[in-house]
Amino acid sequence: MEAAMGLMRRIPPKHIETALSALLGLLPDHATDLLSQVDQPLQVLCDVDNGREFILCEYNRDADSYRSPWSNKYHPLLEDGCLPSPELRKLEIEANDIFGVYRDHYYEGGISSVYIWEDLTDGFVACFLIKKDGSRSGHGRRGYLQEGAWEAIHVIQVGPEENGTTNYCLTSTVMLSLTTNNESSGTFSLSGSIRRQMNMNLAMTDGHLCNMGKMIEEMEGKLRNSLDQVYFGKTKEMVCILRPPRELLPEELPENRKI
């Protein structure tokens, strides 16, 4: 299992589904652990009752059906599927509205979904998902990429309130993939994923949604900086070493002035 997880951490996001399927065939006894620990590229389904798309993941799945955050119904229909309590459902509806505003401001479109369910420790767990298709045919507004996707998964375990404070444990994963194909840059492909964790005790003055929103905003900023330094920074460094820009090359003397 340890070797399998090490392999999956090194697989580009666009090949994760193929690699995971092969591992499930090789390690059927570890299927549950693999499916729960490996973050797969996010898929999208349309809620026919509302005409709105929602994101599929392990956190809104029951059997082979997925619960929509808009109608609170499973697709395909599942009569005895797990549902959040009325109190958490109210919080889930509000979280989806607020997170939609956050998505539009930071991502200029895309799809987001929030799912909340009860925990065994008198608290609850919330999952915030964002999928942005940055390709020319997707949600990309600038049209620079032939293919591109940013997929963020934020899972927050919220503990019970004690003395006016609550413990929040945030685990965030971002999967990035992009491909360009034009005259100026040529064909270029880059993909990778990064995972980080944050644990904080926060006062309940502003409520759960405010506290969780601040943590997600801070974490996404750190993840973007890490991706910029690790993936784009290192890639740019290697390209400049292999093919230095013309302005950095030693200036050659004209042919008639060479000694």
* Interval 17-72: pLDDT, tens: 888 889 888 888 888 888 777 878 899 999 988 899 999 998 899 988 999 999 99
Closest to 55 measured CA to CA, from 65, 42, 64: 42
pTM: 0.83
Confidence of residue 165 (pLDDT cuts 50, 70, 90): very high
Give the sign of the dihedral formed by CA 20, CA 22, CA 23, CA 29: positive
The kind and range of the H/E element at 70 are none
Q: Are 145 and 178 in contact (CB under 8 A)?
A: yes
Average pLDDT (167-179) is 91
Instruction: Name the DSSP class of 112.
Output: E
State how far the Cα of 67 lies from the Cα of 74, in Å rounded to an integer: 4
Phi then psi for 224, rounded to 5 degrees?
-65, -40
Instruction: Name the DSSP class of 28.
Output: G
Q: What is the 3-state secondary structure (H, E, C) of 48-105?
A: CCCCEEEEECHHHEECCEEECCCCCCEECCCCCCCCCCHHHHHHHHHHHHHHHHHHHH
Least confident of 6-10, 165-169, 231-235: 231-235
Tokens for 217? 């905003």
Give the pLDDT confidence score for residue 153 in this predicted structure.
95
* Interval 177-225: pLDDT, tens: 888 777 766 777 777 788 899 999 999 999 999 999 999 999 999 998 8
Q: Are 43 and 222 in contact (CB under 8 A)?
A: no
Of residues 141 and 170, more confidence is placed in 170
The kind and range of the H/E element at 163 are none
Cβ-count burial 160-171 (b if 16+ within 10 Å, e if not): eeeeeebbbbbb
Q: Is residue 169's pLDDT more than 50?
A: yes
State how far the Cα of 149 lies from the Cα of 137, in Å rounded to an integer: 12
Tokens for 236? 């740019």
Question: The tokens 């030693």 sit on which residue?
Answer: 250
